[in-house]
A and B are shown apart, each in its own frame.
Chain A
């Protein structure tokens, strides 16, 4: 987990150990915050001892953010949430411990840190890939994300740093109703696509191992471009 990286900056703080680690001296301070975290959890839980969608809305409200804000997704990722729209007790508690926060104010204060963490390229890649699987959990048994939902997810995931190609990509997806959803591989490969391919798409090589939907996109864009050029002539 990426916890160790955060805590390198906070050398004064004791590192959080997993529950099965025996380190009694440090336990005391942890137990204090754990109590507070548990109390926090209880504020939002429902009858089945989880925070459901309603709880999440409240939680977000208190945090001063919207449920579809980027930071909320990051939180879910940090919390290792299994299903979208739900936090279990374990997830919430260990998640708060992981980010070293035990109250709303504390969580809020961690926001800049989390945002910075996820800017790191490798970390963002993991987060990005995780987002797809996470989003699928909305509908059990679903294997592919629908185009509509994928677009929403992309919007959230890229809200901090939008790749310039994104609007054109969305336009392509919206104009082609025949596209039946976005498979995981295409989602995953879209990220390196934004990183490696120039905005004018001139260095795209369709004989390389890009997913075929990206081939179609580039072809569509270049057709459009040619049409425009012709019309100008």
Chain B
């Protein structure tokens, strides 16, 4: 329906409207009754709408700025955090970390209260990911005296690499244990890659065969056959071409074979 519909004033003014109706009646003798909601809306009025106050400020106001245009003063501002720079750097250095799936469903929204980044990268209720690195780096920058951003980054990312290596080893061992007790897995990446290569190769082979037949057919067409057979003139060019295509591949080896057989003979009956 109408998405950007007309602005209404009646819904916000029902109390005023009904008050007017109650106070100014055409037929005084007719009985009127206040609606059930009248006292409720009177004591709990609707809040102010539409008017745009100054939005929450996320940038530090610079009074010495040369910009004098206030046109964007009442527009919402970008939310920027200090961790954003650290996140950008980490994910630029480790782009494949973005490929790791992550569950972001929260239970009660109080996960941050249970984190203590002084203990390490593993925290309860959070998988090992780039965010762990960033948060621990932040903790180090602000809690370890004499720590710089780059040094903290180096220390924490090396911790991260160690843990990822441990995870890889655990995964490999788990797969071996599973195979030992009878589990079987799907195709490995190598197998899938090889199958894709095979498919492409088969497709190429077909294409190459067709190209070869076309070339041979062109070569054959260059040499006309005089007195080759009765059907040579009667046959359609399309059917003779089709016959040549199907049998042309086999004749690449010996051109003397072509002179003996005519296109008409090659058409299957």
Q: State whether these chains interact.
A: no
